[in-house]
Amino acid sequence: MIVDILQLSTSNSNNMAKKIEIVNRKAEYEYNFLSKHEAGIMLVGSEVKSIRKGQAGLKDAYCLFDKGELYIRSMYIREYDNATFINHESRRTRKLLLRKPELKKLERRVKEKGLTIVPYRIYFSERNIVKVEVALAQGKKSYDKRESIKAKDTKRDLERMRKVKF
Whole-model pTM: value is 0.72
What is the rounded distance in angstroms from the CA atom of residue 97 to the CA atom of residue 29?
26
Encode pLDDT of 103-122 as tens digits. 999 988 898 887 899 999 99
Confidence of residue 7 (pLDDT cuts 50, 70, 90): very low
Q: Are 31 and 44 spatial neighbours (Cβ–Cβ below 8 Å)?
A: no
Q: Distance between CA 55 and CA 71 in Å, rounded?
A: 20
pLDDT of residue 104: 92
* Predicted local confidence at residue 36, as pLDDT: 92
pLDDT, tens only, 117-159: 999 999 999 998 899 999 998 887 777 778 888 888 999 999 9
**How large is the greatest C-alpha to C-alpha distance in the chain, in angstroms?**
63
Residues in the chain: 166
Q: Which residues pair with 62 in a beta bridge?
A: 73
Q: Which domains does the chain have, with CATH numbers?
A: 3-140 (2.40.280.10)
Amino acid at residue number 127: R
DSSP lists the bridge partners of residue 139 as 31
Q: What is the pLDDT of residues 15-53, one digit of tens each?
A: 445 678 889 888 888 888 899 999 999 988 888 888 888
Least-confidence region, from 10-14, 78-82, 155-159:
10-14
